[in-house]
Amino acid sequence: MQENELKNQYLTGDERIVRANGVELWAEGFGDPGHPTVLLVMGAQAQGVQWNDGIVRRLVDGNRRVIRYDHRDTGRSSTVDFTTHPYTVADLASDALAVLDAFGVVQAHLVGASLGGVIAQRLAVTHAPRVLTLTSLSSQPLGTDTVSAVQRALQGESPLPGELPPPRPELLAALTTTFPRPDADLEEYLAVREPLWRLLHGGVLPFDEGEYRAMEQRVYERARDLTAGLNHTLAGAAGSGSTADLATVTAPTLVLHGTEDPMFPPVHAEATAAAVPGARLVMIEGMGHTLPRSLDDRLAAEILHHTSGAHA
């Protein structure tokens, strides 16, 4: 599918290339600049367009300005030689601020999924005046070293005392075998990725194979380098801070999480909510570690409610 076909097929907004912190970041804004801004921050190895167009539309219809963007090493943003230019979660958080600056946004509602939730939490700690509200979605507490926990699990070791549980065993096995070759064609790429998305989706809600194939095709066709996102794993928890830092968060906080999340079991959400003063925990029945279109209404409604005047 060619670039102009993608533009016709998918929701498009005010696209920009943001140059900051030594990288170029693709970003896209929607809605009235006079409305409160919601910055959508995606997870590790994920592109900004993996925030479903349906969620974006619902937020805009709810009188929100919405911005989504590609992290460095994903989508149309810069790829980085991690060996010579390593970066941390703190650097990814600085990228998010640079995107807000490029759109002239002083304060925003932050909604972060998975790693994006950790990035949003860090900003709520380090740049509190810029954060109107915080929504941590399918994520875990700031400072959690999942990479080390995964490495221990793969070696058959038990979690350390007090350590949050690693991903479920079947997902751990898939994570080591379901990334395609760098030169994979589209069909090979889709064939390799589909089993992983089934596991991430969870076994309760119906799995729409066509939906995930369309999303992965979009990812494939937008990416400068499909393997570059693995650098997010190398960044690990470095620069994120500690869970104790969350006690200083003043922004109204919503923790949204699926009951069937195989990547971060629900105890991760419980720990996040317990660490942030006054945080509200909402568990979504049947949701795994993905954002299926069937949940667009529910997720957008939760975000709109949380970012309304009653909570902001």
Please, which pLDDT band fits residue 178 given cuts at 50, 70 and 90? low
DSSP 8-state code for residue 80: -
The packing angle between helices 89-102 and 115-126, to 10°, is 80
Tell me the per-residue pLDDT of 241-262, one tens digit each, with 9 for 90 and over.
Answer: 899 999 999 999 999 999 999 9
Query: Domain 3-306 sits in which CATH superfamily?
Result: Alpha/Beta hydrolase fold, catalytic domain (3.40.50.1820)
Please, which pLDDT band fits residue 312 given cuts at 50, 70 and 90? very low
Average pLDDT over the chain, rounded to whole? 92
Lowest mean pLDDT among 20-24, 46-50, 149-153: 149-153
- 190/198 Cα distance (integer angstroms): 12
Say if strands 253-258 and 131-137 run parallel, antiparallel, or are unpaired: parallel
CB-CB contact of 137 with 235 (8 Å):
no
Instruction: Spell out the residues 6+ positions from residue 116 whose beta carbon is closer than 8 angstroms to its own.
Output: 40, 41, 42, 43, 46, 137, 139
169 has pLDDT over 50: yes
Instruction: Find the largest Cα–Cα distance for the chain.
Output: 53
Q: Is 8 exposed, middle or buried (0-12, 13-18, 19+ CB in 10 A)?
A: exposed
- What is the torsional sign of CA 46, 308, 268, 285? negative
Instruction: Spell out the residues 6+ positions from residue 105 whose beta carbon is closer than 8 angstroms to its own.
Output: 37, 39, 65, 67
Lowest mean pLDDT among 8-12, 154-158, 189-193, 209-213: 8-12
- What is the torsional sign of CA 183, 184, 189, 195? negative
Query: Stretch 26-45: mean pLDDT, rounded?
Result: 97
What is the CB neighbour count within 10 angstroms for residue 166? 21
Q: Look at residues 43, 40, 55, 35 and name the one whose alpha carbon lies nearest to residue 111.
A: 40
What length is written for the chain? 312
- 145/233 Cα distance (integer angstroms): 11
Residues noted as catalytic: 114, 261, 289
Residues 100, 280, 276: CA angle, nearest 5 degrees: 70
Tell me the per-residue pLDDT of 251-307, one tens digit each, with 9 for 90 and over.
Answer: 999 999 999 999 999 999 999 999 999 999 999 999 999 999 999 999 999 999 999
CB-CB contact of 153 with 171 (8 Å):
no
- 124/73 Cα distance (integer angstroms): 24
Written as six digits, the tokens of 152 are 């221990």
- Tell me the HSE value of 99 on the side-chain side, using a 13 A CA sphere: 31
Please, which pLDDT band fits residue 175 given cuts at 50, 70 and 90? confident
Written as six digits, the tokens of 210 are 């066509």
Residue 152: per-residue pLDDT: 85
- What is the torsional sign of CA 118, 166, 235, 241? positive
Q: Is 177 exposed, middle or buried (0-12, 13-18, 19+ CB in 10 A)?
A: exposed
Structure-model confidence comparison of residues 291 and 236, the more confident one? 291
% residues pLDDT > 90 (the chain): 79
